[in-house]
Structure 1
């Protein structure tokens, strides 16, 4: 066995310790920008969906207000994409989480359309634009004050810090980065490569928790450990939910091509907004917005019927497809969680002897896996949605048939060729 070079371990420890300073900074700034963007969107949402309709004597849950607001949001987003400097960056439909840093001049327009989409009721989450915004800002910031930090490392740490802030825990970032650790620079053990992302994610999570907690507040009341029938049901529900999610992926790829035939972003985002308005009228207020608070409301609701829950799942999936394909800037994970919650509750309505947390967590696992195509992230969110770590063994089994369903299916990315990608 070859002996390690003298001092190699000490040099690695020193490097990690020194780089922990910019890693903490990245996590803190990532969380602060996320909090500011989310708070701004909440204030604008209150104005658009509470203050204005009540001042005009209109029911904000009525069909005309929902249709009109989403159509107007689509038109406004299209005008911003067409005419603002930077054009709100690349289309979220053609990008997965992460990527190269955007120029700083793109940040204002991207932030504007992201905030408007979140506030206007568009069925997309904040993850894609906030990661892009944080990456642009922090790359420029560290290039000025920490010039010796590699740009690729800044990208990875920014993504980790933002994911940690989004979910209020560094665990999600750690799981996400286990599949990406080989891309981190330098030799060493896996945890060495995860060390700095965990520092950044931990700092981001701590700041976000201090400011306002997680952006995924939904959880199912605890019901004890799952039994044998629950495990079998989860292994059936997860692949069915994954297939349901893949139907949305295929529809998205077709819809994206059709929208782009209109060429002008003003036209296709306005049309997309109008279609979202019609879907909002059909599904009601629960199917609007990113889906985090709405998932919690659905989980703690009055126990809707199977048909109602099935409609909610279908409408939200259709809204996600339209929003992602029509040029709005946003992520797909949060609305995918709502689709999974509705699908799981519908399955539970058909199988009343199966625990709700087993059905819901398995369905969330399947839908998120199909939409995001990341097994670790899907497992993490499925566990978080239950608030009970004892379901993890059941979900580790349920993900196996679900992965077989999605492994060779196309990804929810417009320019994807549909081929299989490494797990």
Structure 2
């Protein structure tokens, strides 16, 4: 009896790969420039809102009153954009992950404006989701006009890779995310053939970002050169505990999102969400505001000066702020706030058990929280390793990721479907 066999994959030749280089280079530069432009604009506006304006009014920059007023005002401003701008700043952010189907180009101005206002106003969300969505929309639209014969999915992959490379300042993160996405997709040629053009775009985006702004995820932790069995045990326990901590937000996400959706109108949901974020900021302090990367560096620069109670308070407040911001309709990503949450949680563990090296505590906790909130295994492992700035930590994190993954796999994610139900 004859048995049908699938034909072996066909390797792409250099003749097929070389024409992909120029589009990838152009997308890489363009994606990075959009990211850098929005980041610079948000930082300038942030300085005006949180330094110049309160100084002119004779109010403390991060007084409780100013945080409540500013975040409520940010909710009103973003609500107006969502209500009145064409495209309403895109779909419900709670159902948007990294990437996805291209939006219409008319959605992009409102999405970028809302994201800029949220970043400058102190909302606990990062820039990654809106920037990736905007770059995908623009790349897909322009690419289909310039080269109609090129598959639309190829333009989406180039834009995603280029933006992730720009965000992290390295193409490695993009390669990991795309390899995870491509692993379950049928396609011709080897994985590296399919990654060829996206890696060119990611590398170009990363280099453009490095040349123009020199970003860094190095938070200044003392490197771990010679891990022992105690360090491995600590990483296993902290990563698992952090994953459980992050899962709390995932389980709370659907009911909190549903409660805000019952308000129906963006001019009610977003101002109320902004007011709630302001109250949380007044409770947790200014470190719990904004996307979280600069605040993480400020936190880790003073290891040993925070009590375990203060650090746990920062982690809880930031987790609640991320939950509220993601539920009420602010556009933004979860990765950067999750890094701050993980760093606070890890430093809390280190404050309770001072024998644990800070690099082990922080990198393990960040990985655990990211595994729970993003369900992106590679990006969680990569981010934890980068924060530690120690190659030896990679092996420790690989082991620590295993029990943490068993805890989160099959559980609700911090992302909903279009019906408001948790993705798993």
In structure 2, the CA distance between the partners of 1:418 and 1:91, relative to structure 1 (3 Å rule), is: closer
For 1:8-47, list aligned pairs within 5 A: 12-47=13-48
> Is contact 1:256-1:414 (8 Å) kept?
no
In structure 1, C-alpha distance between the alignment counterparts of 2:247 and 2:214, rounded to whole Å: 31
Aligned to 1:133: 134
Residue number in structure 1 paired with 2:211: 210
Q: Could you report, residue by residue, the CA deviation over 1:118-146 in whole angstroms, capped at 9, with x for unpaired residues? A: 00000000000000110111112212222
Give secondary structure in 1 for the equivalent of 2:44. helix
* Distance change >3 Å, CA 236–CA 342, structure 1 → 2: same
Given that 1:166 and 1:215 are in contact with CA atoms closer than 8 Å, whether structure 2 keeps it comes out as no
Superposed counterparts of 1:118-267, under 5 Å? 118-182=119-183, 186-214=187-215, 216-267=217-268
Describe how 1:13-412 pairs up with structure 2 within 5 A.
13-182=14-183, 186-214=187-215, 216-301=217-302, 303=304, 304-412=306-414
Q: Give RMSD over aligned pairs.
A: 1.7
Alignment CA distance shift 1:272-1:264 (3 Å): same
Is contact 2:375–2:413 with CA below 8 Å preserved after alignment? Answer: yes
8 A Cα contact 2:254 2:422, kept in partner: no
CA distance in 2, matches of 1:184, 1:12: 21
Which deviations, in whole Å up to 9, do the C-alpha atoms of 1:273-321 show, x marking residues without a partner?
0000000001101000000100010010252010000000000000000
SS at match of 1:87: helix
Mapped to 1, the partners of 2:184 and 2:196 lie a distance apart of: 14
For structure 1, the 5+ residue unaligned runs are none
Provide the C-alpha distance between the structure 2 equivalents of 1:245 and 1:367, rounded to a whole number of angstroms.
Answer: 5
Displacement of 1:418 in angstroms is 4.3
Given that residues 415 and 422 in structure 2 are in contact (C-alpha distance below 8 angstroms), is that contact kept between their aligned partners in structure 1?
no
Partners of 1:111 and 1:104 lie apart in 2 by: 11
SS in 2 for 1:81: helix
Q: CA offsets per residue over residues 200-246 of structure 1, 9 Å max, x none?
A: 11000000000102263534232422211010010011011000000
Partner of 1:353: helix, strand, or coil? coil
Q: What CA distance in whole angstroms lies between the structure 1 residues aligned with 2:391 and 2:30?
A: 30
Deviation (angstroms), 1:179:
1.4
Looking at structure 2, the residues matched to 271 and 63 of structure 1 have their Cα atoms a distance apart, in angstroms, of 17
Q: State the 1:331 CA deviation.
A: 0.3
Instruction: Write the deviation string for residues 385-420 of structure 1: whole angstroms up to 9, x where unpaired.
Output: 111121000000000000011001111112265464
Q: Secondary structure at the match of 1:180?
A: helix
Larger deviation: 121-130 or 250-259? 250-259
Q: Distance in 2 between matches of 1:146 and 1:211?
A: 29
Q: How big is the shift at 1:73?
A: 0.4
Say whether the 8 Å CA contact 1:306–1:349 is kept in structure 2.
yes
How far does the alpha carbon of each residue in 1:61-103 deviate from its partner, in whole angstroms, 9 at most, with x for none?
Answer: 1100011000110111111101111110112111111111111
Distance 1:140 1:193 in 2: 21
SS in 2 for 1:216: coil
- Whole-Å Cα distance in 2 between the matches of residues 143 and 123 of structure 1? 35
Supply the distance in 1 between the matched residues of 2:182 and 2:14 (Cα, whole angstroms): 18
Flag the 1:83–1:222 CA change in 2: closer, same or farther, 3 A.
same
